[in-house]
Amino acid sequence: MMKNVRIHPLIPTLPGLAERNPQKGETAASFTAQAIREDMEHRQEWSEFVARGIASRDEAKRTGIYVAPDAVIGRLGRMLARIKANRTRLTPQVEHAGEFTRQGRDSDRY
């Protein structure tokens, strides 16, 4: 566990950037705290991703069952095509800035 520490700016212009473009009700401290939270979440997700990869490798070694690279690339290509197709159906809602809704049927998800 890390000790509580004061975070000194490593990049002198960084505090100024955060203060010049605040979101409504945001302070430099809340901006910094949010950035740290997001970084910690990213680290946790990355650790979980690596752990799943290692577990998958170990399972393949144990069982001798491997998936051909062409099959993996093909599946990823199909997943990407579905995501791109769904993304083209997203439209911004002016009333709710930053939120998006999908056009189409609910059964048509991913």
Statement to judge: residues 75 and 100 lie in one domain = yes
Residue 37 belongs to what domain range? Answer: 9-66
Query: 101 with 90: CB under 8 angstroms?
Result: yes
Task: Mark whether 79 and 54 lie in a shared domain.
Answer: no
In this structure, are 62 and 87 located in the same domain? no
For residues 60 and 34, membership in a common domain is answered with yes
Say whether both 60 and 86 belong to one domain.
no
Residues 16 and 62 in one domain: yes
Tens of pLDDT along 77-94?
999 999 999 887 765 555
Number of domains in the chain: 2
pLDDT in tens, 34-68: 889 999 999 999 999 999 999 999 999 999 999 99
Predicted confidence (pLDDT) at residue 23 exceeds the cutoff of 90: no
Say if residue 39 is in the same domain as residue 86: no
Identify whether residues 82 and 57 lie together within a single domain. Answer: no
Q: Are residues 55 and 78 in the same domain?
A: no
pLDDT confidence bin for 32, thresholds 50/70/90 = confident
pLDDT of residue 31: 82
